[in-house]
Structure 1
Amino acid sequence: MLRENYATWHCGAHEISLARPRIMGILNVTPDSFSDGGENLDHDAAVARGLAMLDEGADIIDVGGESTRPGHTPVSSEEEAARVVPVVRALVEAGAVVSIDTRHADVARMCVRLGASIVNDVTGFTDPEMVQVAADTDCGCVVMHWNREGLGTHVARRQVLLDESRPAGSALPRPAASQHRFTLPDQAPVMRQVMGFLGDQARTLMRAGVSRERICMDPGAGFDKFADEDVVIQRATRSMVSMGYPLLCAVSRKRFVGALSGVTDAAARDAATAGVCISAIENGARILRVHNVAEVAQAVNAYWAVAHKDARQGFVSLGSNVGNRVANLARAAQLIDEIPLTCVVSVSHAYETEPAYGIATPVANAVAEIRTELHPLVLMGKLLEVEDQLGRIRPKGEKDDAPRPGAKKPGSGPRTIDCDLVWVEGETHAGARLTLPHPRLGERDYVIVPMEDLMHDPERFLAHAGIAVTPRDERVGHVTADLGEVAWE
């Protein structure tokens, strides 16, 4: 294992590695959310959007059925459930890590029973019933700060100073000679309130039996806070991280982001959102809740690759059943070694294997061990380019040699090369484009046997990674012969 940062957020059946930033995609199933209301109110449209966000780089999908924008109209728990339950159910079935954004305990409990892994409570678990939901389940808990009376420190302070400097009968304020002006309010009183609340609620959860590893903090950007206060809070990110809980940055398209960037239209604030997110990451935040997953993922992946040394171990399964098959495997390994921020460490022998998943002829297979600093989805795109360079032809509808979530059907056509990313250290992902670990890794003899050339005990290694390995006689694609070394160097 190469990772130096082993921080994790425990969320139900998932342990989310925080060794790199994670993206939580916002899926509002509402008619009145401030920037995307009505776009995903139809259940099918909402599910499709959630699945698309997974392929764009989302690690978590946060499903909400009630708008919390200023002036919103509260909805009943029954109405909220009708909006979100079908969407949560479908996304969980697709393998997604789902968060339910709700203040209703009955909706939270229902969605967790359906498989949602996280409860994102905008009221910060101030409702004892919501605390009980957390105690009765193993979900991750997002504690958000929302002082409905408002912090108001900056405006109140300025108003006092103006009042004190205004002579009787004066129509306009006159600054006092000794008045000191500051662009932002004092950080101390703002952060005492925000961090005090978050700490108190975390302790409330822990007293109820919720483990510390399940709790995440959200300072609640935009929730009855002035823009100046939001900036003060963002600048105190490092202090909030020092509390010892994962920190969520939920600034997407908020009013203060518009104030900083000069952009009035909320939906046009994605670039500015990415800028604030990168600042938060640099100061220790590791979960980013955003609307535009693709744009923020692109910015964050580029920033992280340049700013942080973060090499991960990975394995790529290689297969060929056309032409000089072993030579195809060798050339694929050479091209993978040329991918930026990626290198091939070693390649197993090539093995003759029985046809599997509808393939008509025997296949030459090998496994390459790699190190990479690319995001898995970026790396997957590069592996597809390797396939293209070697003349891989994909019949319409073919996505892979075995079905994955979202794939239309198993492929059975000949291929000069198949580059299958099967495992990356610390990474789990669901989506039609990439699923990690590969959902059929443990049943593939043509992967397990070549891995024996790369490590002492691949079955134990995979079991430690949570991957069940099928007994050899029950596997598919059995190895029938050793074809020798793959001369890739």
Structure 2
Amino acid sequence: MFPCRVNGMAVGGGAPVRLMGVINCSPESFFSGSFTRPADVRSRAEAMTDAGADIIDLGARSTAPGSPAISVAEETERITRALSELDGSGITVSVDTRYPEVLDACLSHDLHAVNDIGGFSTPGYAAMAAGAGLPAILMAACMEPGDALGVEMTVRALQEIVTRCEDAGVKEYVLDPGIGLWTPARTVEMDWELCRNFSRFREFDRPLLAAISRKTFLRATPEQGPEARLPATLGMTALLLRQGADMVRAHDVAETAEVIRVVSRMNEHGV
């Protein structure tokens, strides 16, 4: 496997499983517990790192189905305010955005990786990341986030991302199969299939991200909201770790760190 290095930290290639803590600067977020006001970003990020997070992923735009749209200018203002709170902290930070204009504004802050749910499908994004020397976390996308339907289409989308990285000269990256109801065409059964076949995506010899925290497909009943999905999230996290996830994106850092610890201990002896 080709490992990815983020701020000197190896991801994949035999390195310990890495934990990405989620901080949302968007009050529209599908999980209200993840929303953090700018004044609280640093204390929350420090608490997450103390609890086991290796990297903090900052986002300022909700991508959940039905979320209200915001302008690129508003996303930029939100995320740069949050980044300002972390400048000089020494915390490893990624930004969750698919817009080159937003990334451009972030480059004047302490930034160590980009998390692009568009999988470098937006013109100019890959070149900007490459020019800045930033590693990338890239979600399966053909033309739009979440437009890969099912396992085979996800494989093709990830192959396209590999090609985009080669064309742009990006050598350090993590692949995200894109579990979630990103578009109206996506179904919860598709998410279950992606999870059942998660190990299939190891064929690209790149680190894999498991990003399933509190997502809709995990609900026990149609009425169950994200606030009640932590147990299911932790159970699925353990299963995806056994299928080869190298990094886990999580709202609940302390609990997820314990899952990683237990699974990693079991894996030491090939169980």
Fold conserved between structures, TM > 0.5: yes
Counterpart residue number, 1:26: 22
Choose which of 223, 245, 257 in structure 2 pairs with 1:285: 245
Q: Does 1:218 align with 2:214?
A: no
5 Å matches for 1:416-455?
Answer: none
Q: Is the 8 A contact 1:77 1:107 kept in 2?
A: yes
Choose which of 194, 216, 221 in structure 1 pairs with 2:154: 194
Over 3 Å counting, the alpha-carbon distance change for 1:15 and 1:298 in structure 2 is closer
For residues 148 and 206 of structure 1, the distance between their equivalents in structure 2, rounded to whole angstroms, comes to 20
Counterpart residue number, 2:267: 307
For residues 148 and 125 of structure 2, the distance between their equivalents in structure 1, rounded to whole angstroms, comes to 24
**Identity score, percent:** 30
Counterpart residue number, 1:234: 195
Choose which of 60, 72, 77 in structure 2 pairs with 1:77: 72
Q: Is the 8 A contact 1:141 1:215 kept in 2?
A: yes
Q: Is the 8 A contact 1:145 1:194 kept in 2?
A: yes
For residues 41 and 222 of structure 2, the distance between their equivalents in structure 1, rounded to whole angstroms, comes to 30
For residues 8 and 79 of structure 2, the distance between their equivalents in structure 1, rounded to whole angstroms, comes to 21
Choose which of 41, 51, 58 in structure 2 pairs with 1:56: 51
Counterpart residue number, 2:211: 250
3-state SS of paired residue (2:108): helix
For residues 137 and 15 of structure 1, the distance between their equivalents in structure 2, rounded to whole angstroms, comes to 18
Over 3 Å counting, the alpha-carbon distance change for 1:245 and 1:129 in structure 2 is same
Q: Is the 8 A contact 1:31 1:37 kept in 2?
A: no
Q: Is the 8 A contact 2:117 2:145 kept in 1?
A: no
Letter in 2 for 1:258: R
3-state SS of paired residue (2:58): strand
5 Å matches for 1:356-435?
Answer: none
CA-to-partner distance for each residue in 1:248-302, whole Å, 9 max, x for gaps?
Answer: 000000011114x888120221121111111111111111001011111112212
3-state SS of paired residue (2:204): coil
Over 3 Å counting, the alpha-carbon distance change for 1:32 and 1:149 in structure 2 is closer
Choose which of 92, 96, 100 in structure 1 pairs with 2:91: 96
* Ranges in structure 2 where 5+ consecutive residues have no aligned partner: none
Q: Does 1:39 align with 2:35?
A: yes
Over 3 Å counting, the alpha-carbon distance change for 1:92 and 1:16 in structure 2 is farther
Q: TM-score, normalised by structure 2?
A: 0.89
1:303 is displaced (CA, Å) by 2.5
Letter in 1 for 2:244: G
CA-to-partner distance for each residue in 1:22-64, whole Å, 9 max, x for gaps?
Answer: 1100100011100126831x21112211111111110010000
3-state SS of paired residue (1:119): strand
Q: Is the 8 A contact 1:51 1:91 kept in 2?
A: no
For residues 293 and 244 of structure 1, the distance between their equivalents in structure 2, rounded to whole angstroms, comes to 27
1:90 is displaced (CA, Å) by 2.9
Letter in 2 for 1:118: A
Q: Is the 8 A contact 1:263 1:269 kept in 2?
A: no
Letter in 2 for 1:73: P
3-state SS of paired residue (2:114): strand
Q: Does 1:14 align with 2:12?
A: no
Larger Rg: 1
5 Å matches for 1:457-476?
Answer: none
1:7 is displaced (CA, Å) by 6.0
Q: Does 1:270 align with 2:230?
A: yes
* Ranges in structure 1 where 5+ consecutive residues have no aligned partner: 1-5, 153-189, 311-489
Over 3 Å counting, the alpha-carbon distance change for 1:209 and 1:238 in structure 2 is same
For residues 268 and 20 of structure 1, the distance between their equivalents in structure 2, rounded to whole angstroms, comes to 29
Counterpart residue number, 2:163: 203
Q: Is the 8 A contact 2:11 2:247 kept in 1?
A: no
For residues 204 and 126 of structure 1, the distance between their equivalents in structure 2, rounded to whole angstroms, comes to 8
1:144 is displaced (CA, Å) by 0.8
Letter in 2 for 1:191: V
4+ residue stretches of structure 1 with deviation over 3 A?
146-152
For residues 235 and 223 of structure 2, the distance between their equivalents in structure 1, rounded to whole angstroms, comes to 14
Cα RMSD (Å) = 2.2
1:68 is displaced (CA, Å) by 0.4
Over 3 Å counting, the alpha-carbon distance change for 1:270 and 1:227 in structure 2 is same
